A and B are shown apart, each in its own frame.
Chain A
Amino acid sequence: MSAPLLRVRDLCVSFPARRGRAPVRAVDQVSFDIAPGQTLGLVGESGSGKTTTGRAILQLQAASSGSVQLLGRELTAMSGRDLRAMRRHMQFVLQNPYSSLHPRMTVANTLAEPLAVHRSVPRHAIPERVAELMTLVGMDPAVVNRYPHEFSGGQRQRIVIARALAVNPDFVVCDEPVSALDVRTQAQIVDLLQHLQARLGLSYLFIAHDLAVVRAVAHRVAVMYGGRIVELGNAAQVYENPAHPYTRNLLDAVPVVDPARQRALLAEAAADPDFRGREGEPGPCVFGTDHAATATAHWHDIAPGHGVSCRFWPPGAAPDSR
Chain B
Amino acid sequence: MTDAPPPLLDVRGLTAAFGRAAPVVRDISFHVAPGEAVGFVGESGSGKSVTARAVLRLAPEGSPLVWGGQILYGGQDLLRLDEHAMRGIRGRRIAMVFQDPMSSLNPVMTVGAQIDDMLMQHMGLSRRAARRRTVDLLGLVGIRDPAMRADDHPHQFSGGMRQRVLIAIAVSCEPDLLIADEPTTALDVTVQAQILRLLMRLRRELGMALMLISHDFGVIAGMVERVHVMQGGEIVETGDVDALFAAPRHPYTRALLDAVPRLDARR
Contacts and interface: CB of A to CB of B under 8 A. Distances in A.
Interface in A213-271: 213, 215-216, 235, 239, 249-267
B75 interface: no
B263 A212 contact: yes
Interface in B133-170: 142, 155-159
B265 A215 contact: yes
A258 B44 contact: no
B217 A257 contact: yes
B194 A272 contact: yes
Interface stretch (A56-64, A102-110, A123-131, A178-186): A178-186
B218 interface: yes
B256 A183 contact: yes
A79 interface: no
B263 A263 contact: no
A262 B261 contact: no
Interface of A: 45-47, 152-153, 182-187, 209-213, 215-216, 235, 239, 249-267, 272, 275-276, 278-279
Contacts of B86: none
Contact of B221 (A182, A252, A259): A259
The contact size tier of chain B is 35 or more
Interface stretch (B2-10, B23-31, B90-98, B185-193): B185-193
A19 B90 CA distance: 46
B204 to A, nearest CB: 10
Interface string B228-250: 00000000000001100100000
B219 interface: yes
A262 B222 contact: yes
A279 B158 contact: yes
Given A185-B43, A250-B189, A255-B222, 4 more contacts: A215-B261, A255-B189, A257-B245, A267-B200
Contact of B159 (A46, A258, A260, A278): A46
A46 B188 CA distance: 7
A272 B261 contact: no
Nearest to A246: B190
Contacts of A187: 258-259, 261
B79 interface: no
A212 B218 CA distance: 11
B123 interface: no
13 contacts: A183-B256, A184-B256, A209-B188, A256-B218, A256-B221, A257-B257, A263-B221, A263-B222, A265-B193, A266-B223, A267-B200, A272-B197, A279-B155
A257 B189 contact: no
Contact of A45 (B155, B190, B256): B190
Interface of B: 43-44, 142, 155-159, 188-194, 196-197, 200, 215-219, 221-223, 241-242, 245, 255-265, 267
Given A45-B190, A250-B190, A257-B257, A152 B44 contact: yes
B157 A257 contact: no
B262 A257 contact: yes
A232 B92 CA distance: 49
Contacts of A152: 44
B45 to A, nearest CB: 8
Contacts of B256: 183-184
A265 B221 CA distance: 11
B216 A255 contact: yes
Contact of A266 (B222, B241, B245): B222
Contact of B242 (A213, A256, A260, A267): A260
A182 B190 contact: no
Contacts of A212: 189, 261-263, 265
A112 to B, nearest CB: 29
Q: Which among A186, A187, A216, A253 has the highest number of chain B CB atoms within 10 Å?
A: A253
A256 B188 CA distance: 16
A185 B257 CA distance: 13
B33 to A, nearest CB: 18
A23 to B, nearest CB: 21
B189 A253 contact: yes
A258 B261 contact: no
B39 to A, nearest CB: 10
Nearest to A273: B190
Contacts of A185: 43
Contact of A253 (B192, B200, B221): B192
Nearest to A43: B189
A278 B257 CA distance: 36
Given A209-B189, A216-B265, A272-B197, A255 B259 contact: no
Given A209-B188, A255-B216, A259-B221, A183 B197 contact: no
B260 A183 contact: yes
A267 to B, nearest CB: 7
B197 A210 contact: no
A105 to B, nearest CB: 23
Which of B156, B219, B259 has most chain A Cβ within 10 Å? B259
Nearest to B240: A259
Nearest to B192: A253
Contacts of A253: 188-190, 192-193
A45 B188 contact: yes
Residue with the highest number of chain A CB atoms closer than 10 Å, among B43, B255, B258: B43
Contacts of B218: 254-257, 262
Contacts of A182: 43-44, 215
A66 to B, nearest CB: 26
